[in-house]
Structure 1
Amino acid sequence: MTTIRFELPPFDIDGDGSTEALAFGFDKNLSVEHTVRTGWLTEGGGSTTIDLLSDIAAELNLNEDFSGKRKGLYTDLGGGVAVVQVDAEITTGDNTNQWGTGNGGTWDAAGGTVLEKMAVLNEALIRAEIDSRPGDGNYPEGHLASLHVGEYSSGGRFDPIDVVPEEPKIVHDTERESSTATVSINFASAASLEAPWDGQKQSKS
Structure 2
Amino acid sequence: MILACNHIEKKFNDETLFSDVSFHINEHECTALVGVNGTGKTTLLRIIVGELPADNGDVILAKDTSVGYLPQQQGYHSDKSIYDELWEVKKDIVALEREIRTMEETMQTASGEELNTLLERYHRMQTEFEAKDGYACKSQIMGIINGLGFVGNDIDKSINTLSGGQKTRVALGKLLLLEPDLLILDEPTN
Q: TM-score, normalised by structure 1?
A: 0.24
Q: Larger % of strand: which?
A: 1
Greater share of helix residues, 1 or 2?
A: 2
Higher relative CO (CA 8 A, sep ≥ 6), structure 1 or 2?
A: 2
